Amino acid sequence: MIKIFIADDHVLILEGVKKILREESDMIVVGEARSGIEILERIGKSDCDILLLDLSLPDKPGLDVLKDIKKRFPHLHVLILSMFPEEVFAVRALKAGADGYLTKDSAAKELVVALRKVADGRKYVSDALSQELAVNVASRGGRAPHEDLSDREFQVLRMIGAGKTVTHIAAELNVSVSTVNTHRMHILEKMGMHTNAELMHYAIENKLGE
């Protein structure tokens, strides 16, 4: 029996996933959480095999939650189920320790296939992303500017793209304004840009905003 813990703050998604999994004789939901804090509090008591994790949580960035989970439970399998496009977020999630990545517009059958594959100790990405990764490895070129950012810089870029001020970003990330400005300067330098307006335009155009 594959024991699954679901982390998502959207009730409709939670209930929808649970309904899908109830149809599978080899799967059972053993726990759920709606925030990063709840995940860390509950998952150790759930004896689960797989964490089905949303990247958009109300209290903490999903990639940070993922890294915390992998530090505390390094052998726990994690499958990301996210609204964010895989071509933008999947590689970062896999590098941060995820075992697979699936978007929320995927078919129910694909979710079941992904869970079984991850439970078996294998990685899961869609066929489309597999082909894209193969092309990128072969060419080693065509990298988008944001792909060279660190995870924290990428997070700040997304927050700028969402129209948040430096002060707001600092408060949300619990860091100083000067730290956020340092990240912003590094982002501008790495991406060859000069203003926040350029960053916002880029984030919107590439669907990176929060």
Domain ranges of the chain: 2-136, 145-205
Which residues neighbour 176 within 8 Å (Cβ) at sequence distance 6 or greater? Answer: 170
The C-alpha angle with vertex 89 and arms to 85 and 92, in degrees rounded to 5, equals 165
CB-based burial label for 167 (10 Å; 0-12, 13-18, 19+): exposed
Q: Taking the model in full, what pTM does it have? A: 0.72
Q: Is the pLDDT of residue 201 over 90?
A: no
What are the CA-CA distances from residue 159 to residues 7, 27, 196, 200 (Å)? Answer: 22, 37, 11, 9
> Phi and psi dihedrals of 22, rounded to 5?
-65, -20
pLDDT tens, residue by residue, 118-139: 999 999 987 777 766 655 544 4
Give CA–CA dist 103/64, Å, rounded: 19
**Which is higher by pLDDT, 208 or 183?**
183
pLDDT computed for residue 98 by the predictor? 94
Q: Which of 90-104, 141-155, 174-188 has the lowest mean pLDDT?
A: 141-155
pLDDT of residue 88: 76
Residue 2, pLDDT above cutoff 90: yes
145-205 placed in CATH 1.10.10.10: yes
Check residue 135 and give its pLDDT. Answer: 55
pLDDT at 141 over 60: no
What integer pLDDT is reported at residue 144 of this predicted model? 76
**Would the pLDDT of 41 be above 70?**
yes
Place of tokens 């916002």: 200
Q: What percent of the chain has pLDDT over 90?
A: 54
Which of 58-62, 112-116, 163-167, 188-192 is the most confident on average?
Answer: 112-116
Homologous superfamily assigned to 2-136: Response regulator (3.40.50.2300)
Q: What is the token pair recorded at 115?
A: 């869970």
